[in-house]
Structures are given as C-alpha cells and as structure tokens.
Amino acid sequence: MARPRSYAMTEAAVSEEDPLQSLLARLRGAAKGRDVSVQDLVESTGENSFATLLFVVSLIMVTPLSGIPTAPTIGAVIIALIVGQWALGRDHLWLPGWIARREVSSEKFCKGLDWAGKPAAFIGRHTRARLTPLARRPLKVLPLAAILLIVATWPFLEILPFFTTLCAVAVALFAFGLMVKDGLYVLAGYAYVAVLGLIAGSYWLI
C-alpha cells in the first residue's frame, strides 16, 4: 500500500507585492530540469497556505496540462483533499503516496507555466485587499463548497474537450481570491459559475 504523505500547512496569505509572479517563479524552480511530481508542488508552496496550493492545482487545470489523460480526475481528487482538510481546520495536508508521486514532464510543466504567464501578470497588477469578508471565515465556506461541487463533475465528464479547463477557471478565481484575500475574485468566481450554468442550461434545453 502506498504510504500517505503529510505536509505542514498554514492559512497565512501570500504577502509578496506580486504574489502570482513570485509563485510562478517558485513553481519553475520546482522543475529543475526534471519531471515534476505532486510532492514537488506541495513542497514548493507548503510554506504558505492551503489556498496557495489550491490555486496552483487549479491553475494547472486551466492550462493545456488538463488535456493529459486522467489529469482531470487526479486534479479533482487533489483539490477535494485540499478543500476537505482545509475546511476541517487541519494544519497538515495528507495525500496518499500514489498521488504525491504522480509526475508530469518538466517540458510540459514549464510550457503550461509560460502559457499562464501573461494572464498572471495582468491579474497581479489588479489585485488588492477588498471585500475581504467574502474570503474569510465564515463566508469562505461558500466558495469552498462551490469548488467541491465543481470538481465532483470532472471524473465523469473528462471525455468532453475543454470542460475541465472551463470549470477550472472558476476554481482558480475562488482559490486566488481566498489566497490574497481579495473578495472581488470570489465574486468573479460566483459570476463565472452562474454564466456557465446558464450556458449549460440553454444547451440542454435546445
């Protein structure tokens, strides 16, 4: 049986002036010219918060890396584990060994980060503390619940092109808002989910 992994985590917010660029730089450093494992990702972000790791995983799911077979299912499991343990107030993240050892090639990983670079630069310039109650207890349970509902669909709808990518945008918006305590991004996540719901509903009614 694969040995579980436990990582010390806190709820400290990322405090850098440009948190996204700093985070992307740390993730590139995790590659180091070799395949990147889930364990590498956790160790490169674990000094910060559950929200940071949640954002990292959702950001990966937004990039073309989500097109790798089984990636949406693995991503959904990881996100569900992060959200569940964060909501329970744990200070350590537990991951099964078989997940912690999952890898993606350094080349694909770095290409995904490069793809996210320009949007990250734009977002970084338009981030500040606002509407913070939406990103703190007790209201933060609402975006966490929404995230769980979103990722629960990924394993069943993995065969639909771009479905995971579209839904992962909402998860990334929620996670980023929680990470930097910017409630405007949390609101954007709700709005995005509402738009997706309207589009999906219209599609099924046609």
What are the contacts of 105-108 at 24+ separation with CB within 8 A? 105/35, 105/36, 106/31, 106/32, 106/33, 106/34, 106/35, 106/36, 108/65, 108/68
List the chain pLDDT tens, one digit each, 206 residues. Answer: 455 567 666 554 454 556 777 788 888 887 777 788 888 888 877 545 798 899 999 988 998 888 888 899 999 999 999 999 999 888 888 889 889 889 888 888 888 888 877 777 777 777 888 999 999 989 999 999 999 999 999 998 888 767 889 999 999 999 999 998 999 999 999 999 999 988 877 777 66
How far apart are alpha carbons 105 and 37 in whole angstroms? 9
- What's the pLDDT at 172? 94
Cβ atoms < 10 Å from Cβ of 21:
15
> φ, ψ for residue 165 (rounded to 5)?
-60, -45
- What's the pLDDT at 3? 54
Exposure string (b/e) for 160-174, b if CB count within 10 Å is 16 or more? eeebbbbbbbbbbbb
Looking at residue 3, the DSSP 8-state letter turns out to be P
Kindly report the pTM of this predicted structure: 0.86
- What's the pLDDT at 15? 46
- What's the pLDDT at 72? 92
- What's the pLDDT at 151? 96
